[in-house]
């Protein structure tokens, strides 16, 4: 049955891609080309490539943390996100996220179906519309990949891919639309999310918690990390790519991009320092894992605030978020909920901390688009909007993700059998090993 379904999907994709232009639109591109800024376009091409690099970086980051029998499977889950979500984004994801709004919650699925009307001669600001669409695709790609760390070492690969498709359609796309579409519910409310605190990190964090709860504990929870060097390499690639993630969200080669570059740099460094210093205060050794996890938490937390806050405030966000996540990691009920790689504590909590601190430190002096300044400047409106969005996103992402895990499990079992888990997913799921 699975072979038949996969064959039908491939055939349908071939037919749609072959005939979509003639079926959907005779002339999807305008006759007159828009005027683009070459500097902005060049930077956004680079930024798009940088954001894509984050996903294989995440593969190394997660792959080094799991046991030796699950390295390939864990890394492949990130790589498959690049493959599956790219096609899904072109077919319907971009349209759901940025199509004409239905009630501020979701976009028209037909408007940009198969990238119709998404051309290189139409403009999004000062860059080609297709470039914007491809830049956004990279955000969609990494989000389900982030979730995989929570259910590492025990999920069936085909079930994961089905969940990934449903997650993009029913969780990621609505949150993306509500946050970044000009008619989106959160956007019109005045919620600030520069590069994905709600859309990427909170949605992934809450979905990770839902997955860890639904799949249950691993047979053996405490395993030695397979390759600490992979974790170091993955952190370096993530940090490097994150400059495209945050600075690229300015959508141009401008002063705001430089500001986001600066805040991203110092927040990551401050968080890495905060994590290892706090570990040392508690009597632990300074570890490579701790330094890497801390830096990534800082990158997560600064993401929603990157283009709205000053450099000193970015240092505070990095330090504070690392301490909060470190405490949550240490206090998380691991004996009851097996979030294997602490995705919720790092990405979920880090994203929430960053969202709230954006409501504290956002400044119109940094970004004129900030109409309601942060709590530290004596204004409360923005902070309350950020808090409201945090609550709504948390409930929505967790509830819908848990429901999707339930549905997928009814279609095909999510968990591998005990003997396959003991054998390791590299062999049992892929027939490969290190």
Q: What are phi and psi of 81, to 5 degrees?
A: -60, -40
**CA atoms lying within 13 Å on the CB side of residue 209:** 21
3-state secondary structure of 107: strand
Residue 27: partners with Cβ closer than 8 Å, 6 or more residues away: none
Helix (H, G, I), strand (E, B) or coil at 123: strand
Q: Identify the three-state secondary structure at position 415.
A: strand
Running DSSP on this structure, what letter comes out for residue 417?
A: P
The answer to whether 180 and 198 are in contact (CB under 8 A) is no
**Tens-binned pLDDT, residue by residue, of the chain (434 aa):** 667 776 777 787 677 666 665 545 544 444 445 689 999 999 999 999 999 999 999 999 999 999 999 999 999 999 999 999 999 999 999 999 999 999 999 999 999 999 999 988 888 999 999 999 999 999 999 999 999 999 999 999 999 999 999 999 999 999 999 999 999 999 999 999 999 999 999 999 999 999 999 999 988 778 889 999 999 999 999 999 999 999 999 999 999 999 999 999 999 999 999 999 999 999 999 999 999 999 999 999 999 999 999 999 999 999 999 999 999 999 988 778 999 999 999 999 999 999 999 999 999 999 999 999 999 999 999 999 999 999 999 999 999 999 999 999 999 999 999 999 999 999 999 988 87
**Residue 431, class by beta-carbon neighbours within 10 Å (0-12 exposed, 13-18 middle, 19+ buried)?**
exposed
Instruction: Kindly report the number of other CB atoms within 10 A of residue 255's CB atom.
Output: 11
pTM of the model: 0.94
pLDDT of amino acid 26: 43
Per-residue pLDDT, 190: 95
- Beta-bridged to residue 127, according to DSSP, are 124
Tokens of 344: 């919720």
Give Cα separations from 55 to 111, 206, 249 (angstroms).
Answer: 28, 19, 17
Q: List the one residue out of 370, 372, 325, 330 whose CA is nearest residue 349.
A: 325
pLDDT score of 19: 63
- Provide the greatest CA pair distance for the chain: 68
pLDDT at 8: 73
DSSP state of 284: -
Residue 28 pLDDT: 46
Q: Looking at residue 24, what is its pLDDT?
A: 53
Residues ≥6 apart with Cβ < 8 Å to 88: 165, 168, 169
Residues 131, 114 contacting (CB under 8 angstroms): no
Q: Which of 204, 205, 227, 215 is nearest to 151 (CA)?
A: 215
| CA–CA separation, 343 and 287 (whole Å) | 19
């Amino acid at each position: 049955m699975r072979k038949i379904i996969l064959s039908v999907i491939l055939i349908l994709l071939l037919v749609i891609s072959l005939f979509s232009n003639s079926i959907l639109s005779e002339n999807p591109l305008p006759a007159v080309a828009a005027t683009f800024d070459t500097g902005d376009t060049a930077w956004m091409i680079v930024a798009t490539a940088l954001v894509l690099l984050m996903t294989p970086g995440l593969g190394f980051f997660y792959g080094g943390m799991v046991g030796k029998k699950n390295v390939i499977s864990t890394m492949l889950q990130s790589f498959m996100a690049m493959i599956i979500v790219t096609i899904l984004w072109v077919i319907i994801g971009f349209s759901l996220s940025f199509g004409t709004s239905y009630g501020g919650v979701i976009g028209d699925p037909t408007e940009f179906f198969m990238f119709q009307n998404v051309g290189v001669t139409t403009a999004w600001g000062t860059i080609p519309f297709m470039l914007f669409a491809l830049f956004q695709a990279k955000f969609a790609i990494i989000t389900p990949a982030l979730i995989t760390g929570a259910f590492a070492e025990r999920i069936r690969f085909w079930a994961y891919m089905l969940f990934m498709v449903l997650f993009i359609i029913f969780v990621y796309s609505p949150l993306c639309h509500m946050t970044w579409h000009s008619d989106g519910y959160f956007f019109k409310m005045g919620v600030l999310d520069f590069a994905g605190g709600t859309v990427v990190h909170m949605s992934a964090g809450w979905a990770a918690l839902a997955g860890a709860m639904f799949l249950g504990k691993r047979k053996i929870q405490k395993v030695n990390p397979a390759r600490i060097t992979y974790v170091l390499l993955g952190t370096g690639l993530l940090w490097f790519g994150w400059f495209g993630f945050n600075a690229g969200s300015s959508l141009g080669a401008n002063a705001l991009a430089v500001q986001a570059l600066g805040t991203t740099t110092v927040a990551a460094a401050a968080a890495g320092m905060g994590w290892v210093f706090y570990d040392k205060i508690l009597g632990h050794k300074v570890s490579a894992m701790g330094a890497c996890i801390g830096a990534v938490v800082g990158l997560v937390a600064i993401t929603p605030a990157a283009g709205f806050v000053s450099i000193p405030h970015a240092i505070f966000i990095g330090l504070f978020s690392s301490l909060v996540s470190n405490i949550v990691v240490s206090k998380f009920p691991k004996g009851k909920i097996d979030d294997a790689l602490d995705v919720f504590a790092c990405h979920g909590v880090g994203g929430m901390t960053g969202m709230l601190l954006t409501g504290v430190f956002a400044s119109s002096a940094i970004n004129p688009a900030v109409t309601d300044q942060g709590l530290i400047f004596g204004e409360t409106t923005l902070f309350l909007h950020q808090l409201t969005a945090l609550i709504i996103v948390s409930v929505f992402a967790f509830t819908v993700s848990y429901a999707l895990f339930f549905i997928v499990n009814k279609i095909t079992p999510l968990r591998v059998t005990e003997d396959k888990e003991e054998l390791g997913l590299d062999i049992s799921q892929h027939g490969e090993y290190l």
